[in-house]
Amino acid sequence: MRRRFLPWLLVGVLVGVLAGCGEDAKPVAAESVPHSHTGLPAGDGTRASYVGYTLADATFPTKAGEPGDYSFRIKDFTGATVTDYVTDLTRDMHVYVVSTDLAVYRHVHPTMAADGTWTGSLTVPRDGTYRLITEFIARRDADTSEQLVLGVERTVGKPGVAVPVPAASRTTTDDGVTLDVVVDPTVGKDRQMELGLSRDGEPASLGTYLGVYAHISAFNVETGALVHMHPLGTPETVDQRSVLSFHSGFTVAGEYRMFVQTRISGMVRTVPITVNVTG
């Protein structure tokens, strides 16, 4: 199958007590699904419509602190609801929910009804404005498919008081897991970034999550644009850390709030860190 990709790279978990991993935050066996996400998605999650596709009819939970439903449809350039998708990283649809102050993050996976409506359950911890971001591959015909990232904003309760984004750092520790930036992120898809993960002073025991050893969802602090990256291969043990290498997906320099999701000792964990991406 030939996929048509455009030169924009997405993106897209626990931020203190405010963020989480949705339904995936539980111990399960490591997966052996190959890494199928190889292209450059069109869009960065800051727009509901892009290159002929629209994130439409979006609903969102109305109250904070209790479960609520979210739903949406994807429509193509003819206005028809898309119902045919290509499975990527073990799912037909990935949804990222992030507060506009980047303090709350969720990665969830809805289910699709026969009419193309996607629905799932979600709990957001506090009032505020959130962006619902969809990442998917829509199949146009037997030979062509489109990989896109679309987003809409919704407010739960009152707008709320923004939480300041933590300052950029090259290391952080969250509940015993330490994340180190071994090779700093820079602009350019041919550049390489390296991250090291350790737990209680020992190399973290990494397993796969949704088919790969890690997911990085990085949000531009100024614009909210999302960059989503995955490691190039398996982890290597270096200096008491499990080190993963990534092709940099950054096209714009600046500060990014980065959420690193990986499976450590059977549990999906998300470690947030703010990084400075240089040109």
The domain locations on the chain are 2-156, 171-277
Dihedral sign computed on CA atoms, order 209, 225, 256, 277: positive
Q: What pLDDT, on the 0 to 100 scale, is given for residue 41?
A: 79
Task: Write the burial class of residue 183 (CB in 10 Å: 0-12 exposed, 13-18 middle, 19+ buried).
Answer: middle
Nearest to 37 by CA among 67, 10, 75, 56: 10
Residue type, 30: A
Q: What pLDDT, on the 0 to 100 scale, is given for residue 247?
A: 85
Q: What pLDDT, on the 0 to 100 scale, is given for residue 144?
A: 86
The reply to whether 2-156 and 171-277 are identical in fold is yes
User: What CATH architecture is 2-156?
Assistant: Sandwich (2.60)
H/E stretch holding 183: strand 177-183
Which residues have C-beta within 8 Å of that of residue 79, sequence separation ≥ 6? none
Which residues have C-beta within 8 Å of that of residue 104, sequence separation ≥ 6? 15, 18, 19, 97, 98, 124, 125, 126, 128, 130
Q: What pLDDT, on the 0 to 100 scale, is given for residue 26?
A: 39
Structure pTM? 0.85
| Cβ neighbour number for residue 79 with a 10 Å cutoff | 8
Q: Partners of 271 in the beta sheet?
A: 260
β-pair type (236-238, 192-199): unpaired
Quote the tokens at residue 62.
């109305």
Q: What pLDDT, on the 0 to 100 scale, is given for residue 16?
A: 36
Q: What pLDDT, on the 0 to 100 scale, is given for residue 221?
A: 97
At residue 227's C-alpha, the angle toward residues 119 and 217, to 5°, is 60
Nearest to 118 by CA among 150, 79, 83: 83
Q: What pLDDT, on the 0 to 100 scale, is given for residue 91?
A: 95
H/E stretch holding 145: strand 144-156
Q: Judge whether 157 and 64 are in contact, CB under 8 Å.
A: yes
Q: What pLDDT, on the 0 to 100 scale, is given for residue 120?
A: 98
CATH number of 171-277: 2.60.40.3340
Q: Which residues of the chain have pLDDT under 70?
A: 1-40
Q: What pLDDT, on the 0 to 100 scale, is given for residue 35?
A: 41
β-pair type (144-156, 2-4): parallel
